[in-house]
Chains A and B, each alone.
Chain A
């Protein structure tokens, strides 16, 4: 099927099989490999991107569902010279170890901060329920999100 989508401000038209996942379109067709696929079973959150402003697990979105959407990936929020405040906060708070979960954590955290005022530590922990970090790094991740919330 033919789909069109806007990814990080760039319009794309693609011919893809209907059983293609958004995560595969991003990684394999557009070579945006910052979006990671961890569990591939909708649990780990490494594949989280924003679709029309909402954080979703891109491994659980069909091509047709993404047709016409505006998508933001980890590549779309900052550059190495001009990091997003959330990326800066993750760096400053040592909120990553292996880094595999980080793109999804950051995309989830940005939505969390953008949609909620006055976040508490508990609200951040609840808000990151859909993202797993297997380096057990949650403590510093929560610190980073709270720090970024003060900057954003």
Chain B
């Protein structure tokens, strides 16, 4: 690691001020991505600003059918919270137990890793991302590979998720890292269906054509004939773009099947 100064401010304002005055600042929200990046000397911030000391950013609250998860809430805490079972299930399958004891929701969504799990929930569960400046619709938050709607220095403070009537998250994990090669979250809100996809494209997105097919006929087979345009999908040594396209359909079917068996059971 290159040398840096470490700060642990007590308020979001103080953190933003530190960022504004730093030559090159980096927010730290758990460190499960940033610390390995620093160790590999892939980043050389002058100042590391730890957000976990900010009061009021950690914890889970329910309000009017929504669940508000504070940005520095750890994955293990979300996994143990039963307000939205699909969110708990998703959080409980991030990385490994040690990652879940440190990594945070805010860190994950602000990073917009194409293979992270939480972004699928942000787009599928009709989320609102709250920052120290404004509220951003979940559908508008992810802009590209490691790119979000956040402005320089803007801090995620919490994410609201809307509780679905039924939902399931199907994931094809990389067996070494447990990142999602592809992950698909299918959520029903009455007759409405929202489908969030992570791992496949440059960032998480909603699969509008799968949503339309499932809104008309909520059975796994309804996804069979949906065309998946994998043109801009990720391709790496783990999976080709075409294979990721195949996984989107397969995982969407698995999620629907899981919801269906829960409905009838």
Contact, CB under 8 Å: B6 / A1: yes
In chain B, residues 82-102, which have Cβ atoms closer than 8 Å to a Cβ of chain A?
A: 95-99, 101-102
Instruction: Please list the residues of chain B having a beta carbon within 8 angstroms of any beta carbon in chain A.
Output: 1-6, 8, 28, 31-32, 35-36, 38-40, 48, 50, 52, 76, 95-99, 101-102, 176-178
Q: A40-B39, A54-B76, A129-B178 are in contact. Are A19 and B97 (CB under 8 A)?
A: no
Check B97–A61 contact: CB distance below 8 A: no
List A residues at the B interface (Cβ < 8 Å). Answer: 1, 17-19, 21, 40-43, 45, 48, 54-57, 60-65, 67, 108, 111-112, 127, 129-130
Interface Cβ pair total, 8 Å cutoff: 75
Write out the residue numbers on chain B whose beta carbons fall within 8 Å of the beta carbon of A67. 8
Contact of A55 among B2, B6, B101 (CB under 8 A): B101
Interface SS majority for chain B: mixed
Q: Given known contacts A17-B3, A111-B97, what 4 new A-B pairs fall within 8 Å (CB)?
A: A18-B48, A40-B39, A41-B36, A60-B36
Contacts of B95 in A (CB 8 A): 130
B36 touches A19 (CB 8 A): no
Given contacts A41-B36, A41-B39, A43-B176, contact A64 B6 (CB under 8 A): yes
List of B residues within 8 angstroms of A54 by Cβ: 76, 101-102
Residue of A21, A42, A55 near B32 (CB, 8 A) is: A42
Contact residue among B1, B5, B31, B98 (Cβ-Cβ distance under 8 Å from A108):
B98
Chain A proximity of B93: nearest CB distance (Å): 9
- Select which of A21, A62, A130 is within 8 A of B96 by beta carbon: A130
By a CB distance below 8 angstroms, the chain A residues around B101 are 54-56
Complex contacts, A65 vs chain B, CB 8 Å: 28, 31, 50, 52
Of chain A, the residue at the smallest CB distance from B35 is: A60
User: Could you tell me the distance in whole angstroms from the C-beta of A91 to the nearest C-beta in chain B?
Assistant: 24
Question: Distance in Å from the Cβ of A54 to the closest Cβ of chain B?
Answer: 4
Known: A55-B97, A56-B102, A129-B97. Contact between A18 and B5, CB under 8 A?
A: yes
Closest to A59 in B: B39
Minimal Cβ-Cβ distance residue in A for B101: A54
Q: Kindly list chain B residues whose C-beta atoms are within 8 Å of the C-beta of A43.
A: 176-177
**Least distance between A148 CB and chain B CB atoms (Å):** 17
Question: What would be 11 A-B contacts, judged by CB atoms less than 8 Å apart?
Answer: A18-B6, A21-B35, A42-B32, A48-B98, A60-B31, A61-B31, A61-B35, A62-B28, A62-B48, A65-B50, A65-B52
Specify which of B5, B39, B178 lies most central, judged by the most chain A CB atoms within 10 Å of its CB: B39
Contacts of B178 in A (CB 8 A): 129
Complex Cα distance, B117 from A103, in Å, reads 30
A103 vs B178: C-alpha distance when bound (angstroms): 23
Whether the Cβ atoms of B98 and A45 lie closer than 8 Å is: yes
What is the CA–CA distance of A60 and B102 in the complex, to the nearest angstrom?
A: 9
Known interface pairs A17-B3, A18-B3, A64-B50; A127-B97 also in contact (CB < 8 Å): yes
B residues less than 8 Å from A60 (CB atoms) = 31-32, 35-36, 102
CB atoms of B6 and A130 under 8 A apart: no
